[in-house]
Amino acid sequence: MGLANLVPGISGGTMLLAVGIYPRFIEAVADTTRLRLRLQPLLLLAVVAVAGGLAILLLAGTLRDLVVHQRWLMYSAFIGLTLGGAPLVWRLAQPAKRSFRAGTAGGFAAMAALAIAQSGPASEGLSGSGPVLLAVAGSAGAAAMILPGLSGAYLLLVLGQYEAILGAVDLLFQGLRGLDAADLLEAGAVLLPVLIGIAVGATVISNAVRFALRRFRQATLGVLLGLLLGAVVGLWPFEASPPGVLQLGSAVVLAAAGFVLTWGMGRLGRVPTKTAT
């Protein structure tokens, strides 16, 4: 889940669903945020948080550099990784009803509009992000941990905070390695609002998604699928001149490989998911 939340196009929630622990994770987060503390849910959250946190801390800088300097390669793969989650959400909604289709259309329109509005390049460095926007970005990350099919890293790209937050995580890692107080303070100024946003977002979203899935399951799954499909609008990999035949072919291959990877992960969770629902 930690790696998934670093990569635009992959949902941390989808990874949890794929390995069959998503229902337990939702219940654990919702119960803990309402102070219903029990040992097994707390252990589950601790294991996921520690493993995910280590992945983010160790690999944030590497993935950030790849996104910045190898855009067309990474975004081609991201398109496939994003679309690979669609069959998973579709399967959960069967038999699909009218509310599912309406939710899909609404989710797609909202995500596509957001992607087009924020189509400019993300800001570089740590000083271009205010605490309110960083907190919103943290809430987006929490949403990705809770909602299968919704990529927190992609939402950070849309909000223009992807490079800033991953740069701060990498700076925190460097500061811890070198015991550099200046680096730790600079990273903390960025990451503290993000952590506050994650805490608030996880509290609200975990309880909201449990309520929505119980009361409005078809519409909720439709919105998730729409968000997933609409995310591709903002992932066009070529910024300037039209791609050549070789580059376009390579992009298609990368997208296909990403699709197979995410789709394969979703297949792993097929039996546990149906049992849980």
pLDDT higher than 50, residue 276 = no
What pLDDT was estimated at residue 100?
93
Mean pLDDT of 247-261: 89
Sorted by where each begins, the domain ranges of the chain are 2-276
Give Cα 145 to chain centroid, integer Å: 7
What pLDDT was estimated at residue 119?
55
Percent of the chain at pLDDT exceeding 70? 85
User: HSE (CB half, 13 Å, CA atoms) of 277?
Assistant: 18
Most trustworthy range by pLDDT among 90-99, 126-135, 155-164? 90-99
pLDDT higher than 70, residue 19 = no
What pLDDT was estimated at residue 105?
94
pLDDT higher than 90, residue 102 = yes
What pLDDT was estimated at residue 273?
40
Give the residue with greater pLDDT, 240 vs 111.
111
Mean pLDDT of 257-261: 87
Give the residue with greater pLDDT, 257 vs 61.
257
Q: How far apart are alpha carbons 133 and 139 in whole angstroms?
A: 10
Q: 223 exposed, middle or buried (CB, 10 Å; 0-12, 13-18, 19+)?
A: buried
Helices (H), the chain: 2-6, 12-18, 22-33, 39-69, 71-83, 86-92, 98-117, 131-146, 152-158, 162-178, 181-215, 217-231, 245-268, 270-276
Q: How far apart are alpha carbons 272 and 190 in whole angstroms?
A: 38
pLDDT higher than 70, residue 269 = no
What pLDDT was estimated at residue 20?
63
What pLDDT was estimated at residue 104?
92
What pLDDT was estimated at residue 9?
60
Q: pLDDT class for 149, splitting at 50, 70, 90?
A: low
Q: Could you count the other beta carbons within 10 Å of the beta carbon of residue 240?
A: 5
pLDDT higher than 60, residue 274 = no
Q: How far apart are alpha carbons 49 and 35 in whole angstroms?
A: 18
Most trustworthy range by pLDDT among 62-71, 149-158, 186-195, 234-243? 186-195
Kindly report which listed range (174-183, 195-204, 227-236) carries the lowest average pLDDT score: 227-236
Reference 126, options 71, 202, 192; nearest CA is 192
What pLDDT was estimated at residue 18?
61
b/e map 177-190, b = 16+ CB within 10 Å? eeeeeebbebbeeb
Give the residue with greater pLDDT, 43 vs 169.
43
At residue 168's C-alpha, the angle toward residues 164 and 170, to 5°, is 120
Kindly report which listed range (42-46, 77-81, 123-127, 169-173) carries the lowest average pLDDT score: 123-127
pTM: 0.65
Residue-wise pLDDT tens digits, 106-147: 989 987 886 676 554 444 434 456 788 888 888 887 877 777
Give the residue with greater pLDDT, 20 vs 40.
40
Q: How far apart are alpha carbons 103 and 59 in whole angstroms?
A: 35
